[in-house]
Amino acid sequence: MVYFDHAATTTVRPEAIAAMTDQFGVLGNASSLHGAGRRARRVVEESREEIADALRCTPNEVVFTSGGTEADNLAIKGLYWARNAADRARRRVLVSAVEHHAVLDPARWIADHQGAVCEELPVDGYGRVAPETLRAAIEQEPADVALVSVMWANNEVGTIQPVAELAAVAAEYGIPFHTDAVQAVGVLPVDFAASGVSALTLSGHKLGGPTGAGALLLARGVDPVPVLHGGGQEREVRSGTLTTPLLRGLATAVGLAVAERDHHAAELAALRDELIGAVREAVPDSTLNGHPTDRLAGNAHIAFPGCEGDALLMLLDAQGIECSTGSACSAGVSQPSHVLLAMGADPDTARGSLRLSLGRGSTRADIAALARALGPIVERARKARAKRH
């Protein structure tokens, strides 16, 4: 198997597996007051401290969740409800047009069901939101903006956003700024305090941790209305029994990913550039989507003219080469990428692109295997599409 879908999920690190294995056999609910509960709570709080140290925040700013989708929903819905409750005029929610559906869908849901006004910020041809674009949108009705959400780096095309600049614009107007940093942590320098953001989403399974564990970092004074109600865990922001083993694995993976970030990112960038070169040699008219340099180190998102992305994916999969056409959360839905359409791509390009994402375990041999297979597969896909049209 050749795996080019690390942006969807990546290998759980052996250190994280070992850390979780040690905890799975230990009895104790971290909310219990007896000895077993206190021992579990100690593991949870040590995990919280490790994540806080890695991402430059304080431990009480780390709210554990089940992953990125829950954290994004808590940020979008919870911050909107909190701001709107304080001032009913605050109805506008500004999100970039290239957000993951874990941000777009809750923003659209509160517009449909909670009286919000969801406004999608336009992006340039690389998929970036310019600070002046955000400022212009805010200044239409500054007092009416409840929150802003722009991802740190795009999950499909890999373009990196000017998050600190965007957060600074929002701060000028006293507006909380959320960023989905699921793809960024462990690959880019993510410093919560220095970035100026109010809330930040991360997910374990994107960086070598377990599926089912993530966090929402919340700056002091940023208190979303809970989406889940129950036991009042996690600052009464996110109720639910804390999954001690998974949180131990999450913290282990975050700590290692951040510690190894510079070396790992340099290795990935070199492999990515080799991959792009190999694809261009095999398919000369292929084009790279997203920013050519300000992009995630392991991301190569490439358009293949005259092809259907789904057909390419299945033909590659038949030869043991696994990749994606975009977000795994939208897999199986045959429609043009909303990210590429927002960037100004035509529908054919938006349908005819593949995301090839690298991670730990990716090798030059993987790239060579793709290069050998790609030319004939593209030719076959083009012939099949021409027959249908």
Query: Tokens in use for 375?
Result: 């030319």
Say if residues 258 and 251 touch (Cβ distance below 8 Å).
Answer: no
* 268 residue type, one letter: L
Residue 233 in tokens: 């865990």
Residue 273, number of CB atoms within 10 A of its CB: 12
Measured between alpha carbons, how far is residue 282 from residues 260, 295, 357 in Å? 33, 23, 18
Q: Which of 57, 118, 323, 329 is an active site residue?
A: 329
CA–CA gap between residue 110 and residue 9 (Å, rounded): 28
Q: Distance from CA of residue 237 to its chain's centroid?
A: 21
For the question of residue 329 being annotated catalytic, the response is: yes
Three-point CA angle 296, 298, 304, nearest 5°: 95
- Residue keyed to tokens 């674009």: 133
Q: Specify the DSSP class assigned to residue 214.
A: E
User: What are φ and ψ of residue 326, in 5° steps?
Assistant: 165, -140
State the first-to-last Cα distance of the chain, in angstroms, to the nearest integer.
33
The two three-digit tokens of residue 342, written as one number: 């927002």
Kindly state the DSSP code that residue 131 receives in the 8-state scheme.
Answer: H
Residue by residue, DSSP assigns 232-282 as -TTTTTS-S---HHHHHHHHHHHHHHHHTHHHHHHHHHHHHHHHHHHHHHH
Question: Parallel, antiparallel, or unpaired: how do β-strands 321-322 and 2-3 relate?
Answer: parallel
Q: Which residues are known catalytic residues? A: 329
